[in-house]
Amino acid sequence: MTTSIDRSAVQAADNVWTMAQQQLDDVAAVVGLSDGIHGFLREPKRVLEVSIPTHMDDGSHRNFKGFRVQHNVSRGPSKGGVRYHPDVTLDEVKALAMWMTWKCAVVNIPFGGAKGGVICDPKSMSMQELENMTRRFTTEISIVIGPEKDIPAPDVYTTPQIMAWIMDTFSMQHGYSIPGVVTGKPISLGGSLGRDKATARGCLFVVDEAMQALGEPIDGARVAIQGFGNAGMYAAELMSERGYTIVAVSDSRGGIANDKGLDVRRVVAHKEETGSVVGFGGADAVTNKELLEYDCDVLVPAALEKVITRENASRIQAKIVAEAANGPTLPEADAILHERGIMVLPDILANAGGVTVSYFEWVQNLQETSWEENEVQDRLHRKMTRAFNETYAQAKRLKVDMRMGAYVVGVNRVAEATKLRGFYP
């Protein structure tokens, strides 16, 4: 039996924007933020809603709605991906933009936070329609983006090809090529080596650190991964190469599990052939709901928000939850996991590898150079292990969970920059 991700249990839960604000409120109390700075960080700096008239293949025009939210620029230009999904809302984009601010601060790259989104179903659109929509969206948000202002990147259902269209549209409007306006580009257009797998690789690095901190052996440790896109699929590949055993994976259509371990390369081939992991031979079918509660050592939610809830948190069997997705755990579930001694590696740490290599890409573009892949990976490794250690030290010092530890690291950095700059005028 296969189902898409079950969100029924979270219908009554607060929306993600309220959740993001609540997380900030909690940390504000712990670090003693002044009311002025707390109030400032609680809202986005800028919100742009745009209308995107698009030529469709049948000759008609469809009007899509899109957003670009800049949450904060205290530490540098704002940074964050663009999501194409039917469930995109302004509140979701605001939450994702706020999380980008903390994420960039946790890994200490000189960016603020932003996010974009378009309400659309990219799976039902042709390449031509996607190109038309992307070019008009880029035009509409071109008043706020730029290599020194705000730099988009891939997120859910957006690809290097889509980044290429963003780069080309922005460049054509300015009359010269501006690769630094967007990251996650194809390599031949100034993309960075290692950017495609960066989110997954960063996640692997922090899981390795966490395993070591908990005294758990890596070899044969059992991993379940929800989501098989850029984050989940590469996490499965890299973690199995590293010696973890991948026992369950899923995508939006459902999941598969095998206690002896899945042959990840064959699962990837099956997904490429059929469009889903579902139906892979030699594995049992599991639902997305069952996958989260699967018997494993490490659970990697790598799909969408709000999947770990008050309802299922008590049944999660993993020792470590590594949030490759943004916002997969509701605050009430966080408390339950913490109480049960499960270590949650929060999104703003666990998936920060993507934006970190985006930063490397932007630096290479501005300097008109390109780095070898091993240089990218070494630098990523240093950034991620340092961020893990700083987070872990704060969590231990304050006797709080890793999410609060990461928030203390990130919010303190942003608050300090804000204080030093002061409020203008």
Please list, in sequence order, all residues whose beta carbon lies within 8 angstroms of the beta carbon of residue 397, skipping any fewer than 6 positions away. Answer: none
CA distance 351 to 230: 11
Minimum distance from residue 231 beta carbon to ligand GLU (Å):
9
Q: 151 vs 344, which CB is nearer to ligand GLU?
A: 151
Token readout for 405 is: 């530890």
Q: Is the peptide bond before 425 cis (omega within 30 degrees of 0)?
A: yes
Q: 299 vs 324, which CB is nearer to ligand GLU?
A: 324
Q: 79 vs 289, which CB is nearer to ligand GLU?
A: 79
- 105 with 140: CB under 8 angstroms? no
Minimum distance from residue 160 beta carbon to ligand GLU (Å):
12
Say whether 68 sits in a helix, a strand or coil: strand
Q: 81 vs 229, which CB is nearer to ligand GLU?
A: 81
- 163 with 171: CB under 8 angstroms? no
Q: Active-site residue among 45, 103, 115, 197?
A: 115
Q: CA end-to-end span of the chain, whole Å?
A: 60
Residues in a beta bridge with 66? 50, 118
Residues near ligand GLU (CB under 6 A) = 79-81, 103, 153, 155, 183, 326, 351, 354-355, 358
- 358 with 184: CB under 8 angstroms? yes
Minimum distance from residue 145 beta carbon to ligand GLU (Å):
12
Burial class (CB within 10 angstroms; exposed 0-12, middle 13-18, buried 19+) of 14:
middle
Query: Is 115 designated active site?
Result: yes
Residues in a beta bridge with 150? 78, 146
- Indicate the pairing of strand 222-226 with strand 320-322: unpaired
Other residues' Cβ atoms within 10 Å of the Cβ of residue 54: 21
Q: 252 vs 317, which CB is nearer to ligand GLU?
A: 252
Q: 113 vs 405, which CB is nearer to ligand GLU?
A: 113
Q: 288 vs 351, which CB is nearer to ligand GLU?
A: 351
What is the amino acid identity at position 277? V
Minimum distance from residue 168 beta carbon to ligand GLU (Å):
19
Q: Which residue has its beta carbon closest to ligand GLU? A: 81
Q: 106 vs 408, which CB is nearer to ligand GLU?
A: 106
Minimum distance from residue 200 beta carbon to ligand GLU (Å):
12
Minimum distance from residue 419 beta carbon to ligand GLU (Å):
25
Minimum distance from residue 349 beta carbon to ligand GLU (Å):
11
CA distance 222 to 320: 11
Minimum distance from residue 358 beta carbon to ligand GLU (Å):
3
Three-point CA angle 294, 254, 285, nearest 5° = 60
For the stretch 414-417, contacts whose Cβ atoms lie closer than 8 Å and that sit 24 or more positions apart, written own/partner, are 414/41, 414/72, 414/74, 414/75, 414/101, 414/102, 414/105, 414/112, 415/31, 415/33, 415/37, 415/41, 417/74, 417/75
Give me the active site residues, please.
115
